[in-house]
């Protein structure tokens, strides 16, 4: 119970920090590939314990955004841990980072239990749980997806969801790339 309470306090503090606006965040140029790779590394044990295959696809080139490193780590960790948590043994979680039309795009797809259509609009609300009994059994604070949404919005981005009951879910986060990302600038010509 003390661990659960500690996690709840930590998540509430994170939400409070995000809601104070940009003043609570420290933006700097960061390569999102490093954050995604680190999150996947730290979640390998949870995936193996549950017998869920965790795969990641990262581009060769840097995916540079102006972001708060701690907030971005929270975003990625929440999406990956949720995907593992709600995917049954023998399932699969795919984490993919790419660039598209001037945006960094993070997709976390799973072969989990899915989310019914009538529940999908509410999953980003604080403390909202689709299956209350299963959520209590699996742990968590009910704030993870709310944190994901607030982090994305604080970075000028968005988060969306595609899901089918019994077939899994895909969460997609879109964030603006730092200007000049992925392009080479030539020096002055003589």
98-111 per-position pLDDT tens digit: 999 999 999 999 99
| Other CB atoms within 10 Å distance of the CB of residue 57 | 11
Contact 51, 111 (CB under 8 A): no
pLDDT, tens digit, 9 for 90 and up, residues 113-140: 988 888 877 676 655 555 544 444 445 5
Evaluate if residue 90 carries a pLDDT over 50: yes
pTM attached to this predicted model:
0.80
**Per-position DSSP letters for 36-76, written without gaps between them:** HHHHHHHHHHHHHHHT-EEEEE--SS--EEEE-HHHHHHHH
Mean pLDDT confidence for 168-190? 69
pLDDT of residue 14: 63
Q: What is the pLDDT of residue 145?
A: 84
pLDDT in tens, 18-66: 666 555 678 899 999 999 999 999 999 999 999 999 999 999 999 999 9
Name the 3-class secondary structure at 163. strand
Q: Taking all residues of the chain, what is their mean pLDDT, rounded to a whole number? A: 81
């Amino acid at each position: 119970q003390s661990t659960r309470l500690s996690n709840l306090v930590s998540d509430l503090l994170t939400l409070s920090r995000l809601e104070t606006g940009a003043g609570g965040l420290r933006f700097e140029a960061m390569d999102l590939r490093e954050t995604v790779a680190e999150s996947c590394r730290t979640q390998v044990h949870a995936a193996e314990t549950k017998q869920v295959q965790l795969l990641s696809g990262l581009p060769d080139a840097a995916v540079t955004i102006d972001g708060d490193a701690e907030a971005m780590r929270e975003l990625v960790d929440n999406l990956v841990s949720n995907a593992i948590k709600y995917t049954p043994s023998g399932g699969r979680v795919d984490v993919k980072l790419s660039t598209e039309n001037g945006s960094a795009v993070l997709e976390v797809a799973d072969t989990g239990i899915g989310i019914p259509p009538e529940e999908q609009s509410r999953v980003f609300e604080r403390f909202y749980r689709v299956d209350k009994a299963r959520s209590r059994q699996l742990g968590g604070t009910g704030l993870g997806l709310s944190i994901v949404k607030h982090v994305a919005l604080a970075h000028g981005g968005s988060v969306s969801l595609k899901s089918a009951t019994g077939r899994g879910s895909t969460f997609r986060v879109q964030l603006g790339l730092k200007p000049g990302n992925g392009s080479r600038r030539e020096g002055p010509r003589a």
